[in-house]
Amino acid sequence: MYTMNAKEYDEKVMNGFFKKVYPVIASQIVERTQITEGKCVDLGGGPGMLGISLAKITNLQVTVYDLMQECVKLVAKNSLENGVSHKVNAMQGRAEEMSFEDNSIDLVASRGSVFFWEDQPKGLSEVYRIIKPGGWAYIGGGFGTAELLKEVNEQRSADPEWKEKRKHRMKKNPPEHFVAILKELEIEGVVEWSEEGTWIIFQKPKTDNS
């Protein structure tokens, strides 16, 4: 079971080392998917800065959905501080068993979480289930650009364990691992890999009415 100190993560990481990363990734997601309105889930969003960054540049209504109950309060604080509390809410729950209805969400965005899911195929099939036909998933982990990754690495140079842990996670979750899961689930999508990160990207096929 995943554990972290959510308050410390919020202060030191989300609003510290990684602060610049979320707006960059949010812009990349919007550019790629062209989704700017409707419902968005920031899955495994922790204290919520990816979802908040998406809410700042779109008309999306964002639900930050995370395993840890503590994140609900932290999302409320961060969305208030960022002036988007009317567009962002938070719920506690697991990726593998989400409480959203079938075909109800326009965009599922998720950063830095899939690597920790206990059952990745189940989580990804849940993502597919809740997305509307024509909706998108953008799931993985990364730092936006190679330059931002370099900056984060420099800031975290005092903590060699961090680099090692990331290397270990990437080794355990190579792109072909996610390609195989998509194939097994019969989801048509791509897995994009670069130094910056790994992203699983797919659009649920449109139906005649969508």
What's the closest the beta carbon of residue 61 comes to ligand SAM, in angstroms?
A: 18
Which residues neighbour 35 within 8 Å (Cβ) at sequence distance 6 or greater? 29, 58, 60, 106, 107, 135, 136
For 23, the token pair is 């707006």
Is 88 an interacting residue with respect to ligand SAM (CB under 6 A)?
Answer: no
Nearest to 125, CA basis, from 93, 95, 170: 95
Site membership for ligand SAM, residue 135 (CB under 6 A): no
Binding residue (CB under 6 A) for ligand SAM from 17, 117, 143, 178: 117
Q: Is 112 in the site for ligand SAM (CB under 6 A)?
A: yes
The residue among 68 and 179 lying less far from ligand SAM, judged by its C-beta, is 68
Interface with ligand SAM (CB under 6 A), residue from 87, 111, 132, 204: 111
- Torsion angle (degrees, nearest 10) of CA 161, 159, 199, 150: -140
**In terms of CB distance, is 162 or 193 closer to ligand SAM?**
162
Decide if residue 41 touches ligand SAM (CB under 6 A).
no
Chain positions 90 to 109 lying near ligand SAM, rule: CB under 6 A, are: 94-96
Q: Could you tell me which stretch among 111-119, 145-153, 168-176, 196-204 binds ligand SAM (CB under 6 A)?
A: 111-119
- In whole angstroms, what is the distance from residue 46 CA to residue 93 CA? 11
Q: Which of 87, 69, 71, 108 is nearest to 200 (CA)?
A: 108
Judged by CB under 6 A, does residue 44 bind ligand SAM?
A: yes
Nearer to ligand SAM, 1 or 158 (CB): 1
Distances (CA, A) of 22 to 130, 177, 203: 23, 25, 22
Is 162 near ligand SAM (CB under 6 A)?
no
Q: What mask of x and - would describe binding to ligand SAM in positions 52 to 71, judged by CB under 6 A? A: --------------xxx--x
Q: Which residues lie near ligand SAM (CB under 6 A)?
A: 2, 4, 14, 18, 44-46, 50, 66-68, 71, 94-96, 111-113, 116-118
